[in-house]
């Protein structure tokens, strides 16, 4: 270091660093004792020094390597610095602080930029480069179960999120792509192979009944058993129940203002809703639809209980729904019968896409804090930062806190 300068008016401290050497090793091939071609002035922002904004200045030497020239490569190579990444305007510790605030503290990037006195576009470029570099090194070997789900991110945009469904992974996001079609599964398979994974080793795939995902898994993951998420089965039953109630409320005034009573779990009922016992035991079509829905919930809950014949119970439920004289549930029974293979796989292996719903909640929370993301790249960066379990820089104050 050559000099330290204070700028009281701008509240800045400047560190001037110089390299006195006239010959240096080549940064690419490590050939020793190569002449310096020229020096380029570069600046980096560092962590604040007390109340001052800290800046590092250096004239970086560029080496003209004769060995690289003989090979036909570019002769002139810039010497890297130990305090910053290549092509970055921030020091390593500054970037570690940004990653800590955006990841651990979950602060919006715009608020971080305002706090640190830089533009949010510069921080997005820095975060994107760090996340891309860490994602390129991600190890996906041993992935044998995945979950696929779509996430609506506003303005008609949809993204597909694929996560590792094995218990030890704790919901690690493996891939994020735009859209929710069969090709999105193909994009995930390409990324899996690029990171050392084997598509043939994937045994189970949890998802909803979206036609695109079903076709994509069948085409790109032929060895994986499709397992339809029980949450979506109950959701379809709730929609069928509500359609029955809406059709009957015109003739039965007692059903007015009871929509959420029928959709709620019994443990969440209020005292007034508990007193509606007579309505649930009546002969109304809505009451019959509610009993069908609750029976389905019980069957799905029993899938984790040993020695319970859930497959036979599900077949019996489908037959009951087909004979219930409720058009909405008759259509639902036909839907279940069409996708019975995926439902049976879910019941047999006790799979669910609950992790995907948790990931969706975290993504939605990030979108709400940031008031939306301008580009898909920014959204993907945040998803990988929060849920990708990547090897990113830790807090610059970790040693001090320890």
3-state DSSP helix/strand/coil percent for the chain, to nearest 5? 50, 20, 30
Least confident of 265-269, 284-288, 300-304, 330-334: 265-269
The secondary element (H helix, E strand) that includes residue 17 is strand 12-17
Task: Give me the sign of the Cα torsion angle 60, 64, 67, 71.
Answer: positive
Mean pLDDT computed over 176-190: 93
Task: Give me the sign of the Cα torsion angle 299, 303, 307, 312.
Answer: positive
pLDDT at 399: 64
CA dihedral 182, 183, 184, 185 (to 10 degrees): 70
pLDDT at 146: 92
Alpha-helical regions (H) of 103-210: 109-116, 120-136, 182-194
pLDDT at 400: 53
Q: How many percent of the chain have pLDDT more than 90?
A: 51
Q: How far apart are CA 321 and CA 338, in angstroms?
A: 14
197-226 pLDDT, tens per residue? 999 999 999 988 889 999 999 999 999 999
Q: Which residue has the tokens 């043939």?
A: 200
Q: How far apart are CA 105 and CA 55, in angstroms?
A: 25
Q: Hey, is 97 helix, strand or coil?
A: helix
Q: Given a cut of 70, is residue 3 above it in pLDDT?
A: yes
Q: Given a cut of 90, is residue 384 above it in pLDDT?
A: yes
Q: How far apart are CA 45 and CA 313, in angstroms?
A: 65
pLDDT at 296: 95
Q: How far apart are CA 94 and CA 200, in angstroms?
A: 42
How far from chain centre, in Å, is Cα 379? Answer: 9
| Selection from 209, 210, 188, 199 nearest residue 145 by Cα | 199
pLDDT bin (cut points 50, 70, 90) of residue 176 is very high
| Selection from 213, 195, 206 nearest residue 142 by Cα | 195
pLDDT bin (cut points 50, 70, 90) of residue 167 is confident
Please say whether the beta carbons of 134 and 173 come within 8 A.
Answer: no
Two tokens, residue 175: 């891939």
Phi, psi torsion values for 398, nearest 5 degrees: -60, -45
Angle, CA of 156, 158 and 159, to the nearest 5°: 160
Q: Given a cut of 90, is residue 239 above it in pLDDT?
A: yes
Please say whether the beta carbons of 347 and 384 come within 8 A.
Answer: no
Going by the DSSP 8-state scheme, the letter that residue 80 receives in this structure is: P
57-105 pLDDT, tens per residue? 999 899 988 888 777 777 788 888 989 998 899 999 999 999 999 988 8
Q: Given a cut of 60, is residue 401 above it in pLDDT?
A: no
Two tokens, residue 134: 């860490």
15-61 pLDDT, tens per residue? 999 888 888 898 888 888 888 888 889 999 999 988 889 999 999 89
Q: Given a cut of 60, is residue 309 above it in pLDDT?
A: yes
State pTM to two decimals: 0.85
Q: Given a cut of 90, is residue 364 above it in pLDDT?
A: no
C-alpha Rg value of the chain to the nearest Å = 29
Q: How many percent of the chain have pLDDT more than 70?
A: 99
């Amino acid at each position: 270091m050559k000099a330290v300068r204070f700028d009281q008016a701008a509240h800045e401290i400047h560190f001037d660093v110089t390299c006195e050497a006239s010959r240096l090793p080549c940064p690419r091939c490590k050939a020793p004792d190569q002449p310096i071609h020229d020096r380029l002035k570069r600046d980096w922002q560092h962590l604040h020094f007390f109340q001052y904004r800290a800046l590092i200045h250096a004239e970086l030497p560029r080496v003209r390597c004769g060995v690289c020239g003989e090979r036909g490569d570019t002769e002139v190579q810039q010497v890297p610095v130990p305090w910053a990444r290549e092509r970055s305007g921030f020091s390593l510790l500054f970037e570690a602080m940004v990653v800590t605030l955006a990841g651990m503290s979950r602060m919006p990037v715009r608020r971080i930029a305002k706090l640190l006195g830089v533009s949010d576009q510069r921080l997005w470029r820095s975060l994107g480069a760090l996340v891309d570099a860490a994602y390129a090194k991600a190890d996906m070997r041993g992935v044998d179960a995945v979950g696929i789900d779509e996430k609506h991110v506003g303005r008609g945009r949809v993204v597909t999120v694929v996560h590792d469904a094995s218990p030890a992974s704790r919901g690690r996001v493996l891939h994020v792509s735009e859209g929710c079609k069969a090709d999105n599964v193909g994009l995930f398979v390409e990324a899996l192979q690029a990171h050392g994974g084997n598509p043939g080793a994937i045994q189970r795939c949890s998802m909803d009944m979206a036609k695109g995902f079903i076709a994509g898994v069948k085409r790109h993951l032929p060895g994986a058993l499709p397992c339809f998420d029980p949450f979506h089965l109950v959701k379809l039953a709730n929609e069928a129940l509500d359609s029955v109630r809406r059709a009957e409320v015109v003739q039965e005034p007692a059903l007015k203002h009871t929509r959420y009573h029928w959709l709620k779990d019994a443990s969440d009922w209020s005292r007034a809703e508990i007193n509606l016992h007579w309505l649930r035991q009546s002969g109304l079509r809505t009451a019959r639809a509610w009993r069908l829905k609750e029976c389905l919930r019980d069957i799905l809950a029993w899938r984790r209980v040993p020695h319970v014949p859930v497959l036979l119970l599900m077949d019996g439920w489908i037959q009951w729904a087909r004979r219930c004289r409720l058009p909405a549930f008759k259509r639902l029974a036909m839907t279940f019968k069409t996708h019975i293979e995926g439902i049976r796989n879910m019941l047999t292996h006790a799979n669910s896409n609950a992790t995907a719903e948790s990931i969706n909640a975290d993504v939605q929370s990030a979108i709400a804090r940031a008031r939306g993301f301008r580009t898909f790249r920014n959204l993907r960066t945040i998803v990988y930062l929060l849920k990708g379990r990547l090897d990113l820089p830790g807090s610059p104050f970790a040693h001090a806190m320890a």
